[in-house]
Amino acid sequence: MSKPTEEIVQTLKRKQLRVTPQRFAVYANLLSRTDHPTAEQILSDLNQDAPVSSQATIYNCLQTLREVGLIREVLLEEGNCRYDANVQPHHHFRCGSCGAIADIPWQALQTIDLSHLNPDWQVSGYEVTVHGTCEACQA
Amino acid sequence: MSKPTEEIVQTLKRKQLRVTPQRFAVYANLLSRTDHPTAEQILSDLNQDAPVSSQATIYNCLQTLREVGLIREVLLEEGNCRYDANVQPHHHFRCGSCGAIADIPWQALQTIDLSHLNPDWQVSGYEVTVHGTCEACQA
DNA sequence: CTTTATCTTAGAATAGTTCTTAGTTAGGAT
DNA sequence: ATCCTAACTAAGAACTATTCTAAGATAAAG
């Protein structure tokens, strides 16, 4: 999911966003990981060596990036909003023990037929959340 | 989903919970509705005619009922924890416009084969979230 | 009727997120 | 290259949802 610097810059510009060091760092960080971090985790990751961004700016950047559709939120546990730079349709696995979240490729699960649901609904998409225990937690 | 009073009392006792007016009211309220209310909505619903329960008690009751498995949380939007007295497996439809949530019976969607996922995961279940627009929001 | 562990409650405390306001800056215009 | 300004960052205050605390109340067993 990681991309070269120049590609990230172009992606941001295409969305008419100024390429600031903070915004670049937040997006690049999200692109480089698949663990669906919280705002807090991104903050501490970015600032672990040198100060890069304030907390308020992390929240601003995440909100802006979400508004333009470059990232999305993943809500699978109470009081914890996680972020994902993979905006293509895909499913999630969540470990009920440690809370870890992993992506499941769209093609890994068969397509679900939604044509027989309530006809008054205009259905635009769906996603599957698989619950279980991850390898590390099965000790 | 609504049940007679005596049945609700017995259900609570079976879980070794004291049947207090507040706890009864919270559980009965949840059983009587299918709109997946938030703690705040339950609070104002219960107290709309006469004071029945404090906010702290609503949260206490919801937590207790969840711990014994009589209700469960539904997390589909940021900062809003909703509750559901339907603890049988089922799916959800969420209107992206008004945020309304509706249940989808388990049998309404075909069963998904999870046997080819990461073999290191111990899978315990899954659920589908369908996104779209509800009837009222299609004006 | 007693007794007591459990429960309720108001208010304080906490956690996560958003708002405010002042200063800074990316990047187009000159 | 420098100027200009709308967009951006940041510190701290504010807000919102939830949990905690501690003191009094009560369900229900004996």
Considering the domain architecture, whether residues A60 and A79 belong to the same structural domain is answered as yes
Tell if B74 CB is < 7 Å from nucleic strand C. no
The set of long-range contacts for A122-125, using a CB threshold of 8 Å and a minimum separation of 24, is A122/B132, A122/B133, A122/B138, A123/B93, A123/B130, A123/B131, A123/B132, A124/B96, A124/B131, A124/B132, A124/B133, A125/A89, A125/B130, A125/B131, A125/B132
| Structure ipTM | 0.91
- Chain B partners of A93 at a C-beta cutoff of 8 Å? 117-118, 121, 123
Phi, psi of A68 (to 5 degrees): -90, 0
Domain that holds residue B61: 5-84
Chain A to chain B Cβ contacts (< 8 Å):
107
Nucleotide nearest to B73 (CA to C1'): D18
Q: Give the span between the Cα atoms of B94 and A114, in whole angstroms.
A: 14
B82 → chain A, closest CA residue: A78
Q: Cβ B117–A127 below 8 Å, yes or no? A: no
Q: Give the span between the Cα atoms of B58 and B80, in whole angstroms.
A: 15
Instruction: Please give, rounded to a whole number of angstroms, the shortest distance from the CA of A101 to a CA of chain B.
Output: 12
Q: How many domains does chain A have?
A: 2
Considering the domain architecture, whether residues B70 and B133 belong to the same structural domain is answered as no
pLDDT for the residue A1: 59
B53 — pLDDT class (breaks 50, 70, 90): very high
Q: Give the span between the Cα atoms of A44 and B121, in whole angstroms.
A: 29
Which regions in chain A score pLDDT beneath 70?
1-2
Considering the domain architecture, whether residues A68 and A102 belong to the same structural domain is answered as no
CB B37 within 8 A of CB B58: no
Considering the domain architecture, whether residues A30 and A73 belong to the same structural domain is answered as yes
Q: What is the mean pLDDT of chain B?
A: 96
B139 — pLDDT class (breaks 50, 70, 90): confident
- Chain B partners of A75 at a C-beta cutoff of 8 Å? 75-78
pLDDT for the residue B108: 97
SS3 content of chain A, % helix, strand, coil (to 5): 35, 25, 40
Considering the domain architecture, whether residues B29 and B79 belong to the same structural domain is answered as yes
Distance A56 CA to C28 C1' (A): 27
Q: Cβ B123–A130 below 8 Å, yes or no? A: yes
pLDDT tens-digit series, residues B94-133: 999 999 999 999 999 999 999 999 999 999 999 999 999 9
Considering the domain architecture, whether residues B35 and B12 belong to the same structural domain is answered as yes
pLDDT tens-digit series, residues B17-33: 999 999 999 999 999 99
Considering the domain architecture, whether residues A17 and A76 belong to the same structural domain is answered as yes
Residue environment code for B34-72, b if the CB has 16+ CB neighbours within 10 A, otherwise e: eebbbbebbbebbeeeeebbeeebbeebbebbeeeebbe
Please determine, for residue B3, whether its predicted confidence score (pLDDT) is greater than 80.
Answer: no
CATH number at residue B54: 1.10.10.10
